[in-house]
Amino acid sequence: MITVAVANQKGGVGKTTTAINIATALAATGWKVLLVDLDPQGNASTGMGVGSADREQSSYDMLIDGAGIGECATPSRIPGLDIVPATVDLSGAEVELVNVDDRTGRLREALSQDAGHDICLIDCPPSLGLLTLNALTAADTLLVPLQCEFFALEGLSQLLQTVERVQERFNPDLGILGIVLTMFDRRNRLTDQVSDDVRSCLGDLVFESVIPRNVRLSEAPSHGLPALVYDHTCVGSKAYMALARELIGRLPERRKAA
């Protein structure tokens, strides 16, 4: 199983939307997908239609109590896509993990026991605390959604510095799958400027596919559905399908056979 952390410490950049729609696109192409909701807000769980009452075992139980994937993973409405939901208990996990042995490796240990999925996507919280460090330690590679605005560039710099520290101390094999530009609005000059700046600095690391601002993408979570299911014909869904194709092309050859 290849593990991809979807992370950016800045909130509101499209992490959850990206995670659930890429997971859906991969499942639609035949991958056995696991989506881990590591955000205490539980937006990925809600966006996949998993209500609070259905979250008996969660990512909190994996991190704190050592529960296994088999206990925590819940089948979603999408064939081939399972989700480990998040509950509000996860908001206290940062404090509880401080005094735990191998506090940055708890998620890696839990995921290492999984034998039923081809790929795992981890939806990280909008911070660089112990939850995100667990995700980066467990991940093979990192997917960074980046909103097309000026302050997002500063946040990206901080995230890349954190990745370097994680590579040095916890996970030397952590790679960066790519950076995806989100909330792209061609009517806004700043959008093009940010896009040009990011591409000039990071080159091929930035995906060609961009995710536009799209009302249907915003509406879908309120129906408990990924946008790809809610309206697969909208421009946002088409953009995520293009991104999924590009993303698959970047995965290591030995993984594609899965």
Q: CA-CA-CA-CA torsion for 90, 41, 207, 198, nearest 10 degrees?
A: -100
Residue 106 in domain: yes
Give tens-digit pLDDT for 6-63: 998 887 888 999 999 999 999 999 999 999 999 999 999 999 988 877 788 899 999 9
Residue 82 in domain: yes
Residue 255: the pLDDT is: 46
Residue 255 in domain: no
Residue 116 in domain: yes
- pLDDT over threshold 90, residue 187: no
Residue 182 in domain: yes
- pLDDT over threshold 60, residue 193: yes
- pLDDT over threshold 90, residue 246: yes
pTM comes to 0.92
CATH number at residue 41: 3.40.50.300
Where residue 248 falls among pLDDT bands split at 50, 70, 90? very high
Domain count, the chain: 1
Residue 28 in domain: yes
**Domain range enclosing 106:** 2-247
Six-digit token pair at 40?
Answer: 């205490």
- Give the C-alpha separation, 29 to 9, whole Å: 30
Closest C-alpha to 72, from 122, 110, 25, 24: 110
Residue 256 in domain: no
The contacts of residue 8 (CB under 8 Å, 6+ apart) are 15, 124, 126, 144, 145, 146, 152, 155, 156, 159
Residue 174 in domain: yes
Percent of the chain with pLDDT over 90: 56
Closest C-alpha to 15, from 168, 123, 94, 167: 123
Q: Are 50 and 83 in contact (CB under 8 A)?
A: yes
